[in-house]
Chains A and B, each alone.
Chain A
Amino acid sequence: MFSLDRWDVAYTNLIKFSVCFIILCVLIGLFLAILLDQKIRVEGALRAMYLYPMALSFIVTGTVWKWILNPEFGVERIVQNLGFESFTFDWLVNPEMSIYTVVIAGIWQSSGFVMALFLAGLRGIDNQIIHAASIDGASLPTIYWRIIIPGLRPVFFSVLIILLHIAIKSFDLIIALNNAGPGYSSDVPATFMYTYSFSRGQIAIGSASATIMLMVIIAIVVPYLYSELRSEKHA
């Protein structure tokens, strides 16, 4: 398996995808949570709008974004109709960029959820600390940077674990969006495993890749669970 070029593509893609997906989701989620925390009047409605994609299947998401990103009819056409005739946006069919279309759709689906987690964390922070700091003359950005964001550390941790976990498991989205293509340019280990086990009948290679996935997940999750369970015992 390690000698296969396709495996190289798959895990490089996974790294590209995870890094972009996680960083952007965290930034967008945190940003939205902070804005929503400013005593917004229609907060409930906005929250519902941000979060509803999470109720949809990745297959549905993939189908819709495939249509939106379609070079013939979608975003490319919209911008061209605005007058930018030479604008091209062909990420979906461009082997170099196809993995980033998965990032776009993935962020759409997951950032609302990250926002909800951060918002819950923000609400859990003691108001008196913030009040005290503002009496001491700290400006709002300083309060956020110095007090609130450090206070969210455990939430960051959970969010990272969850997003990483979504990223490693992401399979449906890629299949529905562009079927790991063009060619195998947007393959990740999850689709790699599936292709080798079920489409090509090379079950040994499929099992090997599944085992690698399991080992990576265990390496990340077991220490996390261990620390969580320990702290629960102390509490």
Chain B
Amino acid sequence: MRKYFDNRRLGRIFIYTILALFAAYSLFPLYIMVITSFKTMAEIRGGGILLPPGTLNLESWTIAWSGSGECTQGVACTGMKGYFANTLLMVIPAVGISTLLGALNGYVLTKWRFRGSNLLFGMLLLGCFIPFQVILLPMAQVLGQLGLSGSLVGLTFVHVVYGLAFTSLFFRNYYITVPSELIQAARIDGAGFWRIFLRIILPISAPVFVVSVIWQFTQIWNDFLFGVVYSDSQSQPIMVALNNLVNTSTGVKRYNVDMAGALIAGLPTLIVYVIAGKFFVRGLTSGAVKG
């Protein structure tokens, strides 16, 4: 009995050690990012990437946010604040519109079935898997014809279209659990398409709205490829700005500014994750696998 107990205890220690090691591996880059962003360049060159900074040096954060003031062109000079605003201006309408349209799609696909609605759903699912690269060129033509290329409106439009597949999927999977008898009864009572949607469906949709909003926000905020292709220098979103900041070849490399910039770009989604992690995970799993 005693030996069994010892073995079990050893096993537990082993398990906790491994789990802790992985947690350290997972947190390591975040730690590096934070401490590097507070160091001076002299400290960085002095060595010890692992060592915490001697003093809390905020200079790199101000440079990353509002620029160094030494020049006027590009993100290295103007800082990321303009691009941060760009991204906000794009994210809010894109998330709102794609979520609402997704809710409508889900409602129609489950409660107002028509011939071929299953096929349509299959095609929507396929839409979740299409690589960005495939739609880049055709979408560029569409934007050109609409006169929206190189603008925030165009970029928002692209995100709405691409996000629709995902939001429709979320809402469809949620509404399929709503009993159809409820809708039937309402129809017998004379309620129409919109009335049922507004009075019955929407009031019970809060959880799936949260999932959809968080998912879309994270996706759009983190997007790089659409941003780099469909924007001009005035309308670049934040990830493009970050990449430009890090990969500028002019001047001295300032790693602390790079890290502060990466944190600024990463913070909004991290905050969302910390506040609403449960919904975030739900979105990930249901966005990637069905239901």
Contacts and interface: CB of A to CB of B under 8 A. Distances in A.
A35 B21 CA distance: 12
Nearest to B289: A158
A210 B137 contact: yes
A197 B27 CA distance: 37
Interface string B3-29: 000000000000110110011011111
Given A52-B273, A203-B137, A221 B246 contact: no
Interface stretch (A19-27, A85-93, A144-152, A169-177): A169-177
A158 to B, nearest CB: 4
Interface string A52-67: 1111111111011111
B48 A81 contact: yes
B136 A59 contact: no
Nearest to A32: B22
A9 interface: no
Nearest to A74: B49
A222 B127 CA distance: 11
A114 B273 CA distance: 17
B29 to A, nearest CB: 4
Interface stretch (B54-62, B78-86, B147-155, B259-267): B259-267
A3 to B, nearest CB: 21
Interface size class of B (residues with CB under 8 A): 35 or more
A117 B23 contact: no
A81 B33 CA distance: 20
B222 interface: yes
A84 B199 CA distance: 70
Contacts of A175: 224, 243
Nearest to A193: B133
B134 interface: yes
B269 A190 contact: no
Interface stretch (B98-106, B109-117, B186-194, B280-288): B280-288
Interface size class of A (residues with CB under 8 A): 35 or more
Given A35-B19, A112-B26, A57 B137 contact: no
Interface string B221-250: 111110001000000000100110011000
Interface in A203-234: 203, 206-207, 209-211, 213-214, 217-218, 221-222, 225-226, 228-229, 232
B15 A49 contact: no
B200 interface: no
A60 B288 contact: no
Interface string A101-145: 000000010001100110010000000000000000000000000
A228 B118 CA distance: 12
Instruction: Give the dominant DSSP class at A's interface.
Output: helix
Contacts of A35: 15, 18-19
Contacts of B126: 218, 221-222, 225
B168 interface: no
A2 interface: no
A165 to B, nearest CB: 6
B258 A63 contact: yes
A55 B15 contact: no
Contact of B285 (A38, A117, A211): A117
A203 B273 CA distance: 39
A113 B284 contact: yes
Contacts of B130: 214, 217
A198 B227 CA distance: 13
Nearest to A192: B133
B77 interface: no
Given A77-B47, A171-B132, A172-B224, 9 more contacts: A51-B281, A56-B266, A60-B239, A162-B289, A176-B243, A193-B133, A203-B137, A229-B121, A229-B122
Interface of A: 28, 32, 35-36, 38, 40, 46, 48-61, 63-68, 73-74, 77-78, 81, 108, 112-113, 116-117, 120, 158, 162, 165, 168-169, 171-172, 175-176, 179, 189-190, 193-194, 197-198, 203, 206-207, 209-211, 213-214, 217-218, 221-222, 225-226, 228-229, 232
